[in-house]
């Protein structure tokens, strides 16, 4: 059996695990386990738009013991240029101690720059092996910039959830609908991903906030002050973040109506809701791909990824 070529490192708080599982599934085709923070894969995945994966890198050295690891490093004659070498650890993975870093540096030639490196490498360790990795893809800070958008309100979907929803749907096609855009959390992430974005909301104030945020980040999208019942354009994918009853009242009848109205218009969709809508969705004709539950201190959110009616 061939060894995986690449290693990916992710950072997350435990309560974000359901979202990280969905993102891992969209990137690699499988879910991470609860304590897993290193993902091994033959796929060369660009994780710059990830919510949780901090970086991905090519495995240069893999060894089953530390002694074999140092020996392999010496034989490889690795030469670096203005490099930073990191020692990431998280979850239940063993930590790499500082003395290991110093010993590894003795086996590497070249120059180092901790503050502005031209190259990044990592010493990684799981319960079975040691790895020396050259990082080829790292997470962009854009999602965190979006979280500081100038126009927002208290119940706006957070940037992390919006980013994961967009990542789940990116392979569905380029034509994207943010249905009930609010202040534009989802719209911003979809624009950053290069999708052709349409955003609608029945509130003129919400559309105005989204427009303000788009201008702030120099994005463009088609904005409409419309209700879903008045919308008939078809899309590859869509997201709806249903109200959960804090700053805006939840309307179960309206949720069901929205599910029915959206069904013939899109191929795939992601819904955020305060209750499990899967039975109602299946009755309409949706095929549920994944259903996850996020539990916050004061609210529970269901994330449902489904195939809808557009072929």
Domains of the chain, by residue range, sit at: 6-138, 142-307
Mean pLDDT by 10 residues, the chain (311 residues): 87 92 96 92 94 97 96 95 91 85 94 95 93 96 92 88 96 96 96 97 96 97 97 97 69 93 97 96 97 89 94 71
Does domain 142-307 fall under CATH 3.40.50.150? My reply is yes
**Triad 117, 217, 222: Cα angle to 5°:** 135
Share of the chain above pLDDT 70, in %: 97
Residue 62, strand partner residues? 131
pLDDT in tens, 5-52: 999 999 988 889 999 999 999 999 999 998 889 999 999 999 999 999
159 — alpha (psi -120 to 50), left (phi > 0) or beta? alpha
Query: In the prediction, which pLDDT does 27 show?
Result: 96
Q: What sections of 82-153 are H helices per DSSP?
A: 98-105, 142-146
pLDDT in tens, 223-267: 999 999 999 999 999 999 998 655 566 788 999 999 999 999 999
CATH code, 6-138 = 3.30.2130.30
pTM over 0.85: yes
CB 160 within 8 A of CB 144: no
The two tokens of residue 201 are: 């909301």
Among residues 302, 234, 297, 283, the alpha carbon closest in space to that of 19 is found at: 302
């Amino acid at each position: 059996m061939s060894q995986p070529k690449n290693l990916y490192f992710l950072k997350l708080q435990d309560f974000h695990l359901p979202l990280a599982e969905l993102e891992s599934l969209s990137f690699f085709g499988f879910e991470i386990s609860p304590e897993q923070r290193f993902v091994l894969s033959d796929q060369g995945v660009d994780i710059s738009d990830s919510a949780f994966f901090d970086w991905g890198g090519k495995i240069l050295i893999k060894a089953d013991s530390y002694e074999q690891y140092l020996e392999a490093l010496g034989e490889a004659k690795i030469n670096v240029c203005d490099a930073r070498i990191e020692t990431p650890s998280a979850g239940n993975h063993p930590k790499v101690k500082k003395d290991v870093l110093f010993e590894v540096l003795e086996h590497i030639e070249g120059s180092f720059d901790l503050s502005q490196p031209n190259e990044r490498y990592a010493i990684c360790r799981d319960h079975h092996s040691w790895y020396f990795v050259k990082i080829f893809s790292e997470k962009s800070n854009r999602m965190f910039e979006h979280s500081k958008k100038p126009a927002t309100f208290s119940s706006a979907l957070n940037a992390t959830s919006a980013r994961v929803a967009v990542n789940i749907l990116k392979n569905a096609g380029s034509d994207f609908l943010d249905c009930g855009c609010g202040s534009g959390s989802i719209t911003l992430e979809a624009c950053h991903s290069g999708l052709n974005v349409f955003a609608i909301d029945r509130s003129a104030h919400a559309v105005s906030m989204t427009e303000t945020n788009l201008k702030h980040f120099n994005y463009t999208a088609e904005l409409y002050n419309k209700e879903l019942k008045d919308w008939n354009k078809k899309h590859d994918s869509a997201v709806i973040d249903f109200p959960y009853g804090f700053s805006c009242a939840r309307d179960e009848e309206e949720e069901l109506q929205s599910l029915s109205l959206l069904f013939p218009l899109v191929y795939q969709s992601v819904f955020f809701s305060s209750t499990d809508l899967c039975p109602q969705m299946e009755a309409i004709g949706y095929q549920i791909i994944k259903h996850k539950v996020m539990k916050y201190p004061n609210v529970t959110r269901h994330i449902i990824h489904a195939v809808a009616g557009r072929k």
